[in-house]
Structure 1
Amino acid sequence: MTAESQLISGKTVRMLVRRGFKPLTFSGRRRGLSLKSLDGEFSKRLFDVLFSLSVLILFAPVYLLLTLLVVVSSKGSAFYVQQRVGKNYKPFACLKFRTMVENADEVLLEMMAKSPQMRQEYEDNFKLKHDPRIT
């Protein structure tokens, strides 16, 4: 008999093999549903979707009120779309309530070009104490 080692899922498994016989091997993750995947991944995903849906429905009147307040208080869209990086580094659009004027990044560059004091404050803290872009 000889000892043969294999690396399976980060663990080294040592098997005793009779000479002349092919050792049993594991081909990695099995395809299809298993009890383990039903217990962990599926139940977590189900909880995430149901909880998110219930929170959206419960707070829908608050979101509607916030949308109306943003639209009435300043011109432009009530929402801001920001690109984020998600699972497996796949980019997605994140929808947020707008809390600054439209084109806030361009306005910041103009303000910093006009005021060296503002530029220094922003470069030191990456924010402004009295930011005029906030709506």
Structure 2
Amino acid sequence: MNRTRHLCFAATVVAGILLFWASAYCSDIKARMKDRLPRIIELKAAGIIGENNQGLLAFVGADQQAQTLVDAENKDRQLVYGAIAKQQGTAVEIVAQRRALQIAENAKPGEWLQDAGGKWYQK
């Protein structure tokens, strides 16, 4: 039952993301996020950044060479999560945590993730 509830909520979040992407408001955000994606993939592969338990990028070690990029991506993610939360009548934190679970499920081997307790691990 709990897994079914999780899957239903995850599907709702995905639907919300798709609806958000379809709106005119998000076209700039979508373009910015798409432009940053290749660099984010590189930084993840290098083990410099990972995905935290709030659906945001975070530095795994001391190398913080891409602070501006990480900050910009996180700002846009927070805007997306806020719009979805408003649309679904739920808290931004819930949307962000559910997105973190989706990101973790789709992460590539070797990428850094943060569990619910805040501990970093490699997939």
Question: Quick one: higher RCO (CA 8 Å, sep 6+), 1 or 2?
Answer: 2
Higher helix proportion (structure 1 or 2): 2
Report the TM-score when normalising by structure 1. Answer: 0.26
Computing the radius of gyration from Cα coordinates, the structure with the larger value is: 1
